[in-house]
């Protein structure tokens, strides 16, 4: 049997044959690269929901089964048994590090965590109370000016240096963005602290003051980073690859990804979850909002439930639910916000309206509550996402760069505008 698919144009009876490609996992793919030259037609696929735009060895998702893997490793194993630096190393190097490799990687990131002092002028240029994501995106874009030599790289060791530099500096830039947005004194990285601990330290500390970071707090945030490290070809990752296809500076590609991630339907979703919980306010109002969510004539929708990819449980949400409960127990939080969230979750997991529609709590529902428990402000939630996602973005960029040929991304369109209009005198 031929490994092809046949497309027949019923208007004229002509048939066209296209090869079927097979991956190591997941659906087969019909290669329609020659569709236009063969047929004179394009495909129409809103949001690329049925279109594979690249070959990749990094992340695999099965939305029907609720599976997520990085480099073949199940996400629950990585998040629960490994650290974020393990995950970052895995994404970059295709294998988990041994103890010596881990120690060297950790040390390298520490040494590269400081940013050029000239960048402080960029932070100074922003108005008071500027959103940290705006400061972060602009600062990462500016980082390309400080490392212009990364524009043209041909050797793996050059990619590796570039990747470690951006992974190391993103938490520092993120923390500085927060401090400047609040008018707080800048806290520099502490080389005696680990990657995730250092970020919390830069967020919370004040000059000449000891900051107490509980191990469970560091572990909780580290888990959030790991679960957000990559997620296949989502909007921001596709943006990074799209800009990368133009041969732009890799840090400009990351800045573009940050812009895409900022949207409330993407990286800003967990901030939206918390704002909605705050809007509901108390447990006695939950039933009213649940009724609104079920009303098809009411525009209100519960945020943090269901997922575009996962038609089953979000595997990341399962991990975060356990971590969230452990964090709350150990640091002794029993706020009204947590009570509201627990009541909504209880209803959603048992109400046929939500169950029949696979509207289970997703990663944003639990991550937002974890970040809130850690005392991280709502407008920093997407920034946290950026720190976690950077290893995935830069690994995707490297994978694109190492392919034999890079074809600039250029989607087609279905034009529905005016035709041949006559100029009016």
Query: What gap in Å lies between CA 136 and CA 121, rounded to an integer?
Result: 13
Catalytic annotation, pick one of 228, 231, 249, 307? 307
Q: Tell me the Ramachandran region of residue 214: left when phi exceeds 0, alpha when psi lies from -120 to 50, beta otherwise.
A: beta
Contact between 397 and 250 under an 8 Å Cβ cutoff? The reply is: yes
Contact between 409 and 242 under an 8 Å Cβ cutoff? The reply is: yes
Q: How many Cα atoms sit within 13 Å of 339 on the Cβ side?
A: 8
Residue 59, strand partner residues:
70
Is residue 247 annotated as a catalytic residue, yes or no? no
Is residue 307 annotated as a catalytic residue, yes or no? yes
Contact between 260 and 393 under an 8 Å Cβ cutoff? The reply is: no
Q: What number of residues does the chain have?
A: 425
Catalytic annotation, pick one of 249, 364, 366, 379? 364
Nearest to 166 by CA among 112, 88, 107: 112
Structure tokens at 8: 């027949």
Query: What gap in Å lies between CA 295 and CA 163, rounded to an integer?
Result: 48
User: Which residues does the annotation mark as catalytic?
Assistant: 307, 364
């Amino acid at each position: 049997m031929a490994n092809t698919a046949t497309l027949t144009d019923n208007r004229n009876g002509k048939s066209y044959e296209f090869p079927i490609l097979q991956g190591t996992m997941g659906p087969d793919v019909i290669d329609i690269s020659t569709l236009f030259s063969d047929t004179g037609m394009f495909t129409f696929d809103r949001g690329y929901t049925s279109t594979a735009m690249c070959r990749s060895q990094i992340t695999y998702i099965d939305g029907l089964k609720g599976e997520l893997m990085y480099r073949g490793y199940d996400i629950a194993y990585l998040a629960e048994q490994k650290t974020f630096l393990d995950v970052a190393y895995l994404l970059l190097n295709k294998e988990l590090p041994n103890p010596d490799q881990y120690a060297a990687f950790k040390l390298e990131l520490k040494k590269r965590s400081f940013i050029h002092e000239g960048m402080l002028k960029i932070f100074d240029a922003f108005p008071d109370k500027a959103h940290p994501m705006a400061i972060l995106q602009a600062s990462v874009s500016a980082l390309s000016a400080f490392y212009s030599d990364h524009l043209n790289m041909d050797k793996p060791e050059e990619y590796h240096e570039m990747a470690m530099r951006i992974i190391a500096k993103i938490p520092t830039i993120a923390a500085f963005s927060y401090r400047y947005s609040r008018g707080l004194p800048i806290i520099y990285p502490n080389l005696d602290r680990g990657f995730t601990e250092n970020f919390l330290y830069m967020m919370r500390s004040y000059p000449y003051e000891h900051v107490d970071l509980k191990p469970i707090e560091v572990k909780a945030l580290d888990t959030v980073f790991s679960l957000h490290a990559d997620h296949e070809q989502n909007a921001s990752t596709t943006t990074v690859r799209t800009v990368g296809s133009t041969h732009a500076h890799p840090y400009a590609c990351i800045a573009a990804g940050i812009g895409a991630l900022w949207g409330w339907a993407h990286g800003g979703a967990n901030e939206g979850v918390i704002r909605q919980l705050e809007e509901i306010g108390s447990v006695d109002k939950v039933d009213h909002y649940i009724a609104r969510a079920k009303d098809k004539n009411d525009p209100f929708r519960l945020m943090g439930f269901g997922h575009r990819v996962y038609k089953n449980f979000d595997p990341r949400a399962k991990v975060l639910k356990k971590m969230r409960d452990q964090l709350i127990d150990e640091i002794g939080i029993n706020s009204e916000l947590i009570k509201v969230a627990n009541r909504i979750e209880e209803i959603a997991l048992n109400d046929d309206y939500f169950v029949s529609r696979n509207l289970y709590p997703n990663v944003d529902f639990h991550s937002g509550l974890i970040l809130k428990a850690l005392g991280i402000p709502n407008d920093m939630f997407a920034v946290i996402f950026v720190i976690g996602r950077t290893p995935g973005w830069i690994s995707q960029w490297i994978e694109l760069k190492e392919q034999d040929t890079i074809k600039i991304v250029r989607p087609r369109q279905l034009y529905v505008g005016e035709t041949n209009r006559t100029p009016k005198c």
